[in-house]
Structure 1
């Protein structure tokens, strides 16, 4: 695509910013205790605020109440004739379809979700009726990524409970033209690297421990509950104060999967990924090594080891068949 064509495309894409993709949509169900219970059981979240007569919904369920399910939402009050359900739960008006079609025509035929952001204003409670509006908030200039070249599209959804703003959900995708390489070019590529772990202010201490060959688990300073993954607050009592304990490195396979697809250049499928229950009682995910992938079994004892996967990355893994 020439520079002039690229500039013209971007100007057309910018024209979609601010256009609504959903208006006055209504959640399929009011906020309800069974859904909250299922969510908490799936997440292992036992915080007392999410049960009992004064229960609230976990804040991270904000978008859950907007999802249309397999049958989708009833007709919206705006653009209902041209609407269609999307992967992130909104009802897409013709604006989003037109934007997608424009990118398709420019060769950006692939799409991948990149991230979402949520802001919480007030808690959702059983019985609340959820409504939501969504707009195309922004379309980025042309970006080149390892996947290919395209544009990031951000939609913003405002979610209300009985008419009162409860929170905001931003969902971002990359619509791109896949990068093409010849076989000769691929042969000359350096060995592909594993994806880098996302290190942020909440989990930086964990990765600092890995660098020292220590597996650190958070411990609540108020109720002494251990937790993993690392979180800013205790999911048992809500305290935001904590310290750490070093795990012994012993554990068992609580559950596992064998990865066959999708293939990724830095990995050699099939391989086993285990949910490991540590002797301390918390669980974490990691590769199971030391035995063939088809010999991994639930209950199998494992022990922590640190493996260097490239010059800049060392990861905790779990060697099977090691008895204490």
Structure 2
């Protein structure tokens, strides 16, 4: 017990230490990056273009990234903390969540600087992945002298659970559950009833997915739903080979499906071998039950007939 307490105290000593000091964004806020972001996200909000454009608030962290070259003025406290956890056997890492607070809109021409601090290291926690520690960093992003926003990022550094010795009748791990919140609860309720519901703005008629509290096109908070026909096509895809996850059996295809209604969603393609999935392949919606509680929408691919 004393050894565990001593190790926890060593970790706690990193709280409040700097992970980055007065670093500068690689580029000022600029219109091309805003345009690329909006095109990738399918965000047509008029506030993000024109002479009075602002940057989408969710780009906050993008302006702090240094690209493949990284930042040369590295602070060592964060790396030391991760090395300490590695040496103690907590060798795996997973990002768990992030939180952002927006205080002032960013506009083209703003020069970005930021500081980062190790905000907290949790007590030892036991999760389904393994036992470890949650590490939270807080980044304060500034535009000139003004605090523009705050970005908190949390990871779990953990020792993986070893595969339990099973009898010959091995149990299949359960499929991960979706995160249901107040914004998307209606979508998952529809899935439970084998109905795929698409949000539609009642202000301008724009459909959207995933479900959001407001319209990206006109900003209206009012919406209704339409039921998807189930017809679609593969817009893009990847084949997952590694790393393996419990309840998944690689290789398998994960696709971005473009529905007939004009929205896109990520799901699995079933019914065809993973190496036969192609961009443009027509697919049809199905609902697949993974256990007594979990139902997910998947898409059955249809190979072209030669």
TM-score of the aligned structures, taking structure 2 as reference length: 0.94
Match of 1:164 in 2: 146
Match of 2:194 in 1: 213
1:154 lines up with 2:141 in the alignment = no
Q: Distance in 1 between matches of 2:83 and 2:59?
A: 31
Q: Distance in 1 between matches of 2:167 and 2:65?
A: 41
Match of 1:286 in 2: 267
1:56·1:123 contact (CA, 8 Å) conserved in 2? yes
Structure 1 residues 1-324: aligned runs within 5 Å: 3-75=1-73, 83=74, 93-181=75-163, 184-185=165-166, 190-321=171-302
Q: Distance in 2 between matches of 1:6 and 1:97?
A: 21
2:116·2:139 contact (CA, 8 Å) conserved in 1? yes
Q: Which runs of 5+ in 2 are unaligned?
A: none
Give the secondary structure class of the aligned counterpart of 1:116. Answer: strand
Q: Distance in 1 between matches of 2:70 and 2:237?
A: 32
Q: Distance in 2 between matches of 1:94 and 1:69?
A: 19
Please report how far the alpha carbon of residue 24 of structure 1 lies from its aligned counterpart in structure 2 after TM superposition.
1.3
RMSD of aligned Cα (Å): 1.8
Give the secondary structure class of the aligned counterpart of 1:70. Answer: helix
TM-score of the aligned structures, taking structure 1 as reference length: 0.89
Q: Distance in 2 between matches of 1:50 and 1:172?
A: 29
1:303·1:322 contact (CA, 8 Å) conserved in 2? no
Q: Distance in 1 between matches of 2:195 and 2:254?
A: 21
2:64·2:113 contact (CA, 8 Å) conserved in 1? yes
Please report how far the alpha carbon of residue 187 of structure 1 lies from its aligned counterpart in structure 2 after TM superposition.
5.7
Give the secondary structure class of the aligned counterpart of 1:25. Answer: strand
Query: CA separation of 1:22/1:186 partners in 2, compared to 1, >3 Å: closer, same or farther?
Result: farther
The list of structure 1 runs, each at least 4 consecutive aligned residues, that deviate by more than 6 angstroms after superposition, is: none
Give the secondary structure class of the aligned counterpart of 1:299. Answer: coil
Q: Distance in 1 between matches of 2:303 and 2:192?
A: 23
Q: Distance in 2 between matches of 1:29 and 1:187?
A: 58
Q: Distance in 2 between matches of 1:176 and 1:254?
A: 36
Give the secondary structure class of the aligned counterpart of 1:223. Answer: coil
Deviations 1:255-281 (A, max 9, x none): 222222222231222222222221111
